[in-house]
Amino acid sequence: MRGSLPTVILAGCGYGAIDALRALKGQARVIAINPYPYSVNSGMSTRLLSGRFSLELVRIPLLEHIQANGAQFLPGRVTHIQPEARTLTLESEAGIQTLAYDYLLVNVGRELRPIDGIQHAFTIRPAEQLVAARTWIRQCWQRAAQGDPTPGLLTFVVAGGGCTGTELMGELYDLCREMSAETGIPLAQA
Ligand X SMILES: Cc1cc2nc3c(=O)[nH]c(=O)nc-3n(C[C@H](O)[C@H](O)[C@H](O)COP(=O)(O)OP(=O)(O)OC[C@H]3O[C@@H](n4cnc5c(N)ncnc54)[C@H](O)[C@@H]3O)c2cc1C
What CA–CA distance (Å, rounded) separates 15 from 18?
Answer: 5
Residue 109 interacts with ligand X (CB under 6 A): yes or no: yes
Question: In sequence order, what DSSP letters do the residues of 47-100 get, joined into one string?
Answer: HHHHTSS-HHHHEEE-HHHHHHTT-EEEESEEEEEETTTTEEEEEETTEEEEEE
User: Least distance to ligand X from the beta carbon of 76, Å?
Assistant: 7
Selected from 35, 37, 51, 75, the binder of ligand X by CB under 6 A is 35
Residue type, 120: H
Site size toward ligand X, by CB under 6 A = 22
Buried b / exposed e along 14-44 (16+ C-beta atoms within 10 A):
bbebbebbeebeeebbbbbbbbeebbbebee
Out of 42, 129, 180, 183, name the contact with ligand X by CB under 6 A. 42
Q: What are the beta bridge partners of residue 113?
A: none
Asked whether the beta carbons of 3 and 29 are under 8 A apart, the reply is: yes
Q: Which residue, 39 or 50, is less far from ligand X as judged by CB?
A: 39
Least separation in angstroms between CB 156 and ligand X = 17
Q: Which of 55, 81, 108, 158 binds ligand X (CB under 6 A)?
A: 108
DSSP 189: G
Measured from each CB, the residue nearest to ligand X is 14
Question: Taking CB under 6 A as the rule, does residue 50 contact ligand X?
Answer: no
Our CA angle for 179, 185, 187, nearest 5°, is: 70
> Considering only 27-35, 97-105, 131-139, 180-188, which stretch makes contact with ligand X by CB under 6 A?
27-35
Residue 34 as a binder of ligand X (CB under 6 A): the answer is yes
Eight-state DSSP code of residue 4: S
In the complex, what is the shortest distance from the CB of residue 138 to ligand X, in angstroms, rounded to a whole number? 21
Does 124 bind ligand X (CB under 6 A)? Our answer is yes
Q: Enumerate binding residues for ligand X (CB under 6 A).
A: 11-17, 33-35, 39, 42-43, 45-46, 77-78, 107-109, 124, 164
